[in-house]
């Protein structure tokens, strides 16, 4: 089947939207949070839990990491990433651009592409835009991302402009390769270009115009949540959403806290991913509808109440705060698993609630109440 996108409902008081994407691997109801499964796994979480407890419609894989390990040949011979990891729902792959950005001291950027050293063994590799597309087609992601350069924050205007222009030239090469090579498996893949431009309004507008003109299935906003203040993130997001076409999904990459998600939904964003629920969870931070818990704190030592009475996953009404604190105090891996499942469940629940409130016409009132609570330190 050809993937489809439908804008189902628009909020009257904000720019929030409820949309539906249909693909060969099922429906994605937006707003949606996509758990990050960098190396073919969402750390510490079974696929069964992702599907049945967390209720994820789509997860992420990472091109750079999967290319290095297990390697593309192993994934291809398995029949693609869905079969390799036994996940029948949707998958999006990041192109590897951000990982290359994070390898700053180990990479060299040229017009042709990026040469980098493996973080594993120091071996040299080269990614061109064409190579990034070929690898993602071999992985078999439903949504394939453009290969871009993510400028650091802060960076001066000329660097941000040159970086954006390079991203645009690379985009043309990505689109040509994507359109002129067949899908490897028996389903259609989608392609999303990425808006860049740092925190400069005119560059973001230029990039959003350029990306919009390409008429791809969906569009992404990159280069945010790299250290800039939240107000700047929201400003860039707002500027770009006002330009990107309404009849295509909008994906804000690498964002963020629960509050960041709700504020960006109100600006017109549909899709999010972030390592925060799992990474922070592994360090003892729990996100709940009443605020943030640091489960390592002594105050939870004798608290035998459930993790989260409002929680939606099985762990929330199975384990106590005291027990989870104990697991972290003895460095037991089960503690990190429980916290990860809880946090991912909360993020996905927050998105489904946002969708419900958009459809009911009560999003702004609900969002403002939630934002006040979500920032509480319990």
Can you give the pLDDT of all 378 residues of the chain as single tens digits? 999 999 999 999 999 999 999 999 999 999 999 999 989 999 999 999 999 999 999 999 999 999 999 999 999 999 999 999 999 999 999 998 777 767 767 888 999 999 988 888 999 999 999 999 999 999 999 999 999 998 889 999 999 999 999 999 999 999 999 999 999 999 999 999 999 999 999 999 999 999 999 999 999 999 999 899 999 999 999 999 999 999 999 999 999 999 999 999 999 999 999 999 999 999 999 999 999 999 999 999 999 999 999 999 999 999 999 999 999 999 999 999 999 999 999 999 999 999 999 999 999 999 999 999 999 999
The model's pLDDT over 75-121, given as tens digits with 9 standing for 90+, comes to: 999 999 999 999 999 999 999 877 776 776 788 899 999 998 888 89
Q: Kindly list the strands in the beta sheet with 114-117, ordered across the sheet, starting from the edge strand earlier in the chain.
A: 107-109, 114-117, 124-127
Asked about 94 being catalytic, the answer comes back as yes
Is residue 159 domain-shared with residue 296, that is, in the same domain? no
Q: Are 237 and 253 in contact (CB under 8 A)?
A: no
Q: What's the chain's average pLDDT? A: 96
C-alpha–C-alpha distance, residues 63 and 146, integer Å? 11
Last residue of a domain, which of 252, 273, 294? Answer: 273
Residue among 365, 278, 286, 374 nearest 324 (CA): 286
C-alpha–C-alpha distance, residues 182 and 159, integer Å? 35
User: Could you give the number of structural domains in the chain?
Assistant: 2
The DSSP symbol for 299 reads G
Bridge-based pairing of strands 250-252 and 219-221 is parallel
Establish how many alpha carbons lie within 13 A of residue 364's alpha carbon, considering only the half-sphere containing its beta carbon.
Answer: 8
Q: Which of 94, 142, 308, 316 is catalytic?
A: 94
Is residue 257 domain-shared with residue 295, that is, in the same domain? no
The model's pLDDT over 158-193, given as tens digits with 9 standing for 90+, comes to: 999 999 999 999 999 999 999 999 999 999 999 999
213 is in which domain, residue-wise? 4-273
Last residue of a domain, which of 223, 254, 273? Answer: 273
C-alpha–C-alpha distance, residues 352 and 33, integer Å? 9
Q: Which of 57, 142, 148, 273 is catalytic?
A: 273
Q: Does the N-terminal peptide bond of residue 154 adopt cis geometry, omega within 30 degrees of 0?
A: yes
Asked about 172 being catalytic, the answer comes back as no
Is residue 84 domain-shared with residue 232, that is, in the same domain? yes
């Amino acid at each position: 089947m050809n993937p489809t996108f439908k804008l189902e409902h628009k909020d009257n008081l904000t720019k929030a939207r409820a949309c539906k994407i249909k693909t060969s691997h099922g429906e994605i109801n937006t707003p949606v949070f996509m758990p990050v499964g960098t190396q073919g796994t969402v750390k510490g979480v079974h696929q069964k839990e992702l599907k049945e407890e967390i209720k994820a419609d789509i997860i992420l894989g990472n091109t750079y990491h999967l290319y290095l390990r297990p390697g593309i040949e192993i994934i291809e011979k398995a029949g693609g990433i869905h079969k390799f990891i036994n996940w029948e729902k949707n998958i999006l792959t990041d192109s590897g651009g951000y990982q290359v950005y994070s390898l700053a001291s180990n990479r060299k950027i040229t017009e042709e592409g990026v040469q980098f050293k493996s973080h594993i063994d120091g071996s040299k590799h080269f990614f061109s835009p064409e190579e990034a597309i070929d690898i993602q087609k071999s992985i078999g992601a439903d949504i394939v991302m453009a290969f871009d350069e993510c400028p650091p924050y802060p960076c001066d205007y000329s660097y941000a402009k040159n970086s954006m222009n390079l991203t645009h030239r690379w985009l043309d090469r990505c689109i040509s390769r994507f359109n002129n090579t067949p899908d490897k498996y028996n389903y259609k893949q989608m392609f999303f270009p990425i808006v860049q431009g740092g925190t400069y309004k005119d560059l973001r507008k230029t990039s959003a115009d350029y990306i919009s003109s390409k008429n791809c299935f969906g569009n992404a906003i990159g280069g945010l949540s790299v250290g800039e203040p939240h107000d700047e993130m929201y400003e860039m997001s707002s500027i770009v959403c006002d330009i990107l076409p309404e009849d295509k999904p909008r994906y804000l990459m690498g964002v963020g806290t629960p509050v960041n998600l709700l504020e960006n939904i109100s600006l017109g964003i549909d899709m999010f991913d972030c390592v925060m629920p799992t990474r922070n969870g592994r360090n003892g931070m729990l996100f709940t509808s009443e605020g943030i818990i640091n489960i390592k704190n002594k105050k939870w030592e004798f608290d035998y109440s459930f993790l989260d009475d409002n929680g939606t996953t099985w762990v929330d009404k199975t384990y106590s705060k005291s027990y989870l604190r104990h697991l972290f105090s003895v460095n037991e891996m089960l503690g990190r698993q429980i916290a990860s499942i809880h946090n991912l469940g909360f993020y996905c629940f927050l998105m489904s609630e946002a969708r419900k409130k958009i459809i009911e016409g009560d999003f702004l009132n609900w969002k403002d109440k939630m934002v006040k609570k979500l920032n509480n330190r319990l």
